[in-house]
Structure 1
Amino acid sequence: MNTVNNQRRKASIKKIETAFLQLLQVTDMTKISVTAICQLAGINRSTFYANYLDIYDLRDCIKESLETNYLSLYDEEVVKQTQGDVFLRLCQHIKENQTLYRTYFKLGLEKTIEIAEYDNQKVLSYEGGALADYHAAFFRAGITAILKLWLENDCRESAEEVFELIKSKHL
């Protein structure tokens, strides 16, 4: 019986998140109501509140899920302590999950991402690393702008093309 309830709960969460993401593509988050989400998802308000405190909690859960999914792309690099083609994997993930990333950027959640790995040799070449914070900010803003534009253009270019652009400009 618990399995049935667990599957039902997962299905409800999926419906809620899908409805929320659909609404976010055409409506500002501050104008989205729990009622609108429930109507689109075909669920009762009590089902929404059984899973989330409010719309902001729903947003935070989606953000956490996306970040966990994103970080899992790099499990191999963490274990082997290598860098690999992390940006290529990111580009591939974005192309496969365009709605989630559009939402991520629309909500401004990318501002919370810290860049942990980038070309340290390049940083050191700028004033012996004294301007590392500026370089990291420039790097983050440049990649974010490229990825946002790529999403606005419906990811017409391949993940490999976007990766090569980022690599040639920043890495």
Structure 2
Amino acid sequence: MNKSESKYFNTALRMDEALLALLEEKDLDYITVKEICHQAGVNRSTFYLHYETIADLVNETLEMVNQRFLSYFPQQEEVVLANMSSREREELVLVTREYLLPYLRFIRDNKKVYRAAFRNPGSMQAHTRYGELKQRILGPILERFEIPAAHHPYYMAYYVEGIIAIVKEWLRQDCTDEVEMIADIIESCVGYGDGRRPCGK
């Protein structure tokens, strides 16, 4: 990356961070280009050099957050799915510490992002991230448990919304409780105390 590209990248990063900071305070509909520029320490012409609209900045910010999120996980999705398909059904766990701990560490290290996402679920496209989780991880696991396909949306809503509720409460506590404690709580809530089998199975 040359000096010009590095400067361009650093300016874009400042605007990403500025947007996240503003989203903690207000809804996206009420954020202006002027406020973003002031928060980032750039002028309006610099903003329009990078983006046509605030929506473009939102898309870039979401991509930046997503890359950060993925970097916390030690294995790729293909490995997760391969491990899942090779395990006996009795060994399957809907929520494992292997993936729960990195997820919770990311939330703790990016509290601002998650507060903004919960404050602005539509504009931050939180449903998209959880949509991937449902389709790629929870869906195949529920199939292995032989849960009827028509029931999947309800099981997924139960588990995902439950985890989100715990995370929201943890954020209200400013993530002061240890990651391991929150993981223990989630694990105890998603199954019969051992994190295994969807409820009702």
Fold shared per TM-score above 0.5: yes
TM-score (norm 2): 0.73
Choose 86-95 or 101-110, whichever is displaced more: 101-110
In 2, distance between residues paired with 1:90 and 1:82?
19
In 1, distance between residues paired with 2:62 and 2:52?
15
In 1, distance between residues paired with 2:142 and 2:126?
25
1:81-92 equivalences in 2 (<5 Å): 81-82=82-83, 85-92=98-105
Structure 1 vs Structure 2 CA RMSD: 2.3
Counterpart for residue 17 of structure 1: 16
Q: CA shift at 1:105, angstroms?
A: 2.2
In 2, distance between residues paired with 1:155 and 1:20?
22
Choose 70-79 or 103-112, whichever is displaced more: 70-79
Q: CA shift at 1:68, angstroms?
A: 2.7
Write the letter of the residue equivalent to 2:188.
Answer: S
Q: Given the superposition, is the C-alpha separation of residues 31 and 97 from structure 1 closer, same or farther in structure 2, using an over 3 Å criterion?
A: same
Choose 9-18 or 136-145, whichever is displaced more: 9-18
1:1-171 equivalences in 2 (<5 Å): 3-74=2-73, 76-78=75-77, 80=79, 81-82=82-83, 85-108=98-121, 109-112=125-128, 113-114=130-131, 115=134, 116-118=136-138, 120=141, 124=145, 128-130=146-148, 131-170=151-190, 171=195
Q: Post-superposition, which runs of at least 4 consecutive aligned residues in structure 1 deviate over 4 A?
A: none
Q: Secondary structure of 2:164's match?
A: helix
Q: CA shift at 1:117, angstroms?
A: 2.1
Contact preservation (8 Å) 1:123, 1:132: no
Contact preservation (8 Å) 1:87, 1:163: yes
Q: RCO higher in 1 or 2 (8 Å CA, sep ≥ 6)?
A: 2
Q: CA shift at 1:123, angstroms?
A: 7.9
Q: CA shift at 1:72, angstroms?
A: 3.5
TM-score (norm 1): 0.85
In 2, distance between residues paired with 1:121 and 1:46?
51
Write the letter of the residue equivalent to 1:24.
Answer: L
Choose between structure 1 and 2: higher helix proportion: 1
